[in-house]
Chain A
Amino acid sequence: MVSLLDIIGPVMVGPSSSHTAGACRIGLLARCLIGGTPERGVLQLHGSFARTGEGHGTDKALVAGLLGFRPDDEKIRTALQIAEREGLDYRFEKTTIADAAHPNTVRVTVERGDTTATLLGSSLGAGRILIHEIDGYPVEVTGNLETLVLVAEDRKGSIARITSILAEHDVNIATLRLTRKERGGDAFIVIECDEHPDAGALAEIRGLDWVRWARSLDRVSGGG
């Protein structure tokens, strides 16, 4: 749902809400997937991101997001130099992802220690973003809410257990989506929450022996 504060906002460093602010938000979510600044990042630019990204500072903004800078942070201007100092090894590629992909689309692959993650995200205009894919699983993450992403064994009762942990930690669920590639294969679960799931909730979920991997994605859009 479109928020007034997405339209009158974000407060951001110029020059382009889609190519600068939206790109920064996609970078921020990629960073969340691996829990911090990546050591390596490959950024595959599609469509208008590839054609006009440089002039719009898309490269700086994506890297700024990976470094944890928000769209209104003036450090975006010097993000590429800061990345070098902080040991973030980034590489840009121009590519065509799919005929139907939104014109402002990027595939981000990040590595930190032995954790890697890949996401496919589009910048929809006015700074709004949509993550279509995480590690090959179809998702719809807008960054408008706190989001939990987890990979678990496909087994009965898994959702019930996870949702009860969230309820015990006073987190209300806004949306929940489970997808899997095959029966009995891994299930990919995306839960958008009204409240930030605290470290205790995340630790408890990670402690379940059938949960392979769980991450909390910050709210990066939705006004203030």
Chain B
Amino acid sequence: MYKSLADAIAEAERQGCRLADVALAAEARDQGRKTEDIRAALKRALDVMRGAIEKGNEGDLKSASGLVGGDAAKLRVGRGPLAETAFRDILTRALAVQEVNAAMGVIVAAPTAGGAGVLPAVLTGLAKAKNVPDERVVDALATAGLIGAVVAERASLSGAEGGCQAETGAAAGMAAGAATEMLGGTPKQAGHAVALTMQGMLGLVCDPLGGLVELPCVFRNATGSAMAMAGIEMAMAGIEFAIPVDEVIDVMGEIGREMDVRYRETAGGGLAATPTGRRLAKERLYQIKRSEG
């Protein structure tokens, strides 16, 4: 797989194809797999993503601690200024997947479980709004995989290593680049969408209450999706980000390495260490232990 998005974009431009094609060809070559098998695996992932959205929308889920669950159903019928828009639908989908994840349901880690809501929300939400056929959504998953692979090589996809910027931040970058291409953007525009989105997620800490992938993770997937939408909108308008996308990814890795361990999934800092965060974590972890006997 590629270690630089600039290289992948240059290759797509040289061949006059999309990043999705470049990604599928590289995967077939690296892993010795047939393209149709890779596409079939991505289609299965898409089906699991849709299943999780459906399950989360039903609204009767509760996480292990009871801290999260039921908010996707609330947002779906809310009366805010985004009611009836695709944007609101996308935010709802992100909450739905992440509520399923917190309840130990089946999801697709994309790239991780903690950030698993963003990519399905943005891709399936925009596909529905713009009538994009499934085949193109599967292509978009390949593009997203390429972007994520570059982030894995150059920086990190682990909250314990790089904070939330490495999980929901990477997910938002993947979603933005993939959706931009899915909606007709060029490989270059897709690259700018990744950069424009990830610049907004730099420095984001991983601070879950009690170390549970619940709070704020569920909501970070919605706000991360919003960041991806901003990146897509700007890139498709032809806006270019002056810092090359590979350098944005590199600096995310650098910031992650310098981030204090309290902000890397240890529940030692951030929201987890607020007075209420500490109190809730203590109460709820006790409840989990008691309920399991």
Contacts and interface: CB of A to CB of B under 8 A. Distances in A.
Contact of A7 (B111, B266, B267): B111
A52 to B, nearest CB: 3
A45 to B, nearest CB: 12
Interface residues of B, number: 66
Interface residues of A, number: 47
Interface centre among A14, A55, A103 (most CB of B within 10 A): A14
A17 interface: yes
Interface stretch (B5-13, B147-155, B181-189): B147-155
Given A1-B30, A14-B104, A17-B109, A103 B211 contact: no
A125 interface: yes
A182 to B, nearest CB: 35
A98 interface: no
Interface of A: 1-21, 47-48, 51-57, 72, 74, 76-77, 80, 102-104, 124-128, 194, 222-224
Given A4-B23, A54-B285, A80-B292, A125 B108 contact: no
Contacts of B148: 7-8, 126
A77 B104 contact: yes
Contacts of B160: 18, 47-48, 103-104, 125
Interface in B253-282: 261, 264-268
Q: Which 6 A-B pairs have the closest CB atoms?
A: A52-B211, A125-B158, A14-B101, A4-B145, A7-B148, A15-B213
A111 to B, nearest CB: 25
A18 B101 contact: no
Nearest to B268: A51
Given A20-B113, A52-B211, A222-B31, A2 B149 contact: yes
B212 interface: yes
Interface string B95-112: 000001111111111111
B152 to A, nearest CB: 5
Contacts of A5: 27, 31, 38, 41-42, 145
Interface of B: 1, 23-24, 27, 30-32, 38, 41-42, 44-45, 48, 63-65, 100-114, 116, 119, 141-142, 144-146, 148-149, 152-153, 156-161, 166, 174, 208, 210-214, 217, 261, 264-268, 285, 288, 292
A7 B150 CA distance: 10
A14 B109 CA distance: 9
A132 B107 CA distance: 28
Contacts of B31: 1, 3, 5, 222-223
Given A4-B24, A7-B145, A125-B158, 14 more contacts: A3-B1, A5-B38, A7-B174, A9-B109, A11-B45, A11-B48, A13-B106, A14-B106, A52-B265, A55-B288, A74-B104, A125-B111, A127-B109, A222-B31
Nearest to A223: B41
A72 B107 CA distance: 8
Contact of A4 (B27, B32, B157): B27
30 contacts: A1-B1, A2-B149, A4-B146, A5-B41, A9-B108, A9-B110, A11-B48, A12-B106, A13-B104, A14-B103, A14-B213, A15-B101, A15-B102, A15-B113, A15-B212, A16-B113, A17-B109, A19-B213, A21-B109, A48-B160, A52-B212, A53-B211, A54-B211, A55-B208, A55-B267, A103-B160, A104-B158, A124-B158, A222-B31, A223-B41
A129 B104 CA distance: 20
Contacts of B106: 11-14, 72, 74
Contacts of A103: 158, 160-161, 261, 264-265
